[in-house]
Amino acid sequence: MATVEELKLRVRELENELIKCKQKQCAAEDAHSQALNRPKIDKMSAEVVDSNPYSRLMALKRMGIVDDYERIRTFTVAVVGVGGVGSVTAEMLTRCGIGKLLLFDYDKVELANMNRLFFQPHQAGLSKVEAAEHTLRNINPDVSFETHNYNITTMENFTHFMDRISHGGLEEGKPVDLVLSCVDNFEARMAINTACNELGQIWMESGVSENAVSGHIQLIIPGETACFACAPPLVVAANIDEKTLKREGVCAASLPTTMGVVAGLLVQNVLKYLLKFGTVSYYLGYNAMQDFFPAMAMKANPQCNDRHCRRQQEEYKRKEAERPKVEVVQEEEEVVHEDNEWGIELVSEVTEEELKAASGTVPDLPEGITVAYTIPTEEKADGETVEETEQSLEELMAQMKKL
């Protein structure tokens, strides 16, 4: 039988052991997250030391590429769709030291996503925005993150989405600087288009074909360039029947290569646009089968179905008329094609030889670029009616879906 003294000793022993165990437990729990963290950095430095995560970016100044790289920290970018293209897009912007990222997605990570970059098998089951934020925060704690785990195409979420685009900037209340569409379906693209037209928000669209071997990026400046409702969405032809827009019931193929290239071209265009270097591309396609890259630009369509697009066009015209002669960032040469119904203006940057194989179903589109579908002729007559009626978003969406 144990004496009181023996029992007291045992209690003390156990108490000590328990304290040690709890410390170890905490340590084990924290080890991973602690290890992942680096302290925040107040000011970007160009110092060339191994411990400086910004040295190779600040070197862009010394190399004469970017005048003021630090400005990157003042920008907010919204990434809609955190899948194969959007996740890599968010990671690139995070590593470049962007000020703030807003991430929108309602999907969960699945093992079926593992053939694309970014997500890892242990994240299966987590929401994409949650998993992405965790990874990205560890990669660069200097970036601010705001995530929204919802579908932007429902009425309530759409209103919230609009609100965050117009007020979710780095300084709360200010709009974001750029919206990036990295979604994989028509409804979501149209919702982004509708929101950006109403807000006059500049955005970039991206897409990868269902067969995984082509993709594109596109810059949309409301009122100036064609919006997603001005003309049928453009895709890159690859000599095979394909559509950029996901058809229901079809399991699309995907490749980390094509999605990585599209994300890279997209974020490169974002950097050029925000930091003012090089030539910003209006539309850049990628045909992986032949390694060719058709480029073009397209003016807004005065008969666009979206009344906010038409309003932005009027505003753009008025502003252009007001100011004497303003230099545009883009320095491309423009070739006007008057003879097409969409008022499409093209700058072909590919040779005839290059494009031999590409199908050209719509006149005056550079070969190699084609439309995702054609619009029935009777739809054109509806244009005026839409202008007069105050249609709800859902009605508009339903109508657009019919196209």
Annotated catalytic sites, by residue? 251
CA–CA distance from 143 to each of 49, 73, 93, 140, 271 (Å)?
21, 8, 9, 6, 16
**C-alpha to C-alpha distance for 195 and 255, rounded to whole angstroms:** 30
Q: Strands 369-371 and 100-104: what pairing?
A: unpaired
| Calpha distance 220→334 (Å, rounded) | 17
CB of 54 to a copy of itself, least distance (A): 7
- Cβ proximity to a copy of itself: between 191 and 212 the closer is 212
Which is nearer to a copy of itself, 251 or 321 (by Cβ)? 251
The whole-angstrom separation of Cα 112 and Cα 109 is: 8
CB of 363 to a copy of itself, least distance (A): 21
Shortest spacing between CB 376 and a copy of itself, in angstroms:
27
- What tokens were used for 48? 């060339």
Q: Identity (one letter) of the amino acid at 209? A: S
Q: How far is the CB of 332 from a copy of itself (least distance, A)?
A: 9
In the complex with a copy of itself, which residue's Cβ is closer, 112 or 155? 112
SS (H, E, C) 219-260: EECCCCECCCCCCCCEEECCCCCCCCCCCCCCCCCCCHHHHH
What are the CA-CA distances from residue 294 to residues 254, 268, 372 (Å)? 21, 17, 16
- Which of 325, 304, 291, 163 has the alpha carbon at shortest distance from 231? 304
Question: Nearer Cβ to a copy of itself, position 63 or 326?
Answer: 63
Q: Which is nearer to a copy of itself, 42 or 353 (CB)?
A: 353
List, in order, residues 6 or more apart from 116 with CB less than 8 Å away: 83, 84, 87, 88, 254, 255, 256, 259
Task: Measure the CA–CA gap between 88 and 82, rounded to whole angstroms.
Answer: 8
What's the closest the beta carbon of residue 118 comes to a copy of itself, in angstroms?
9
Token digits of residue 290:
């032949």
Tokens representing 135 are: 């990874």
As given in the structure block, the two tokens for residue 253 are 């193929």
Q: By the 8 A CB rule, do 256 and 216 touch?
A: no
Q: How far is the CB of 280 from a copy of itself (least distance, A)?
A: 9
CB closer to a copy of itself, 60 vs 362: 60
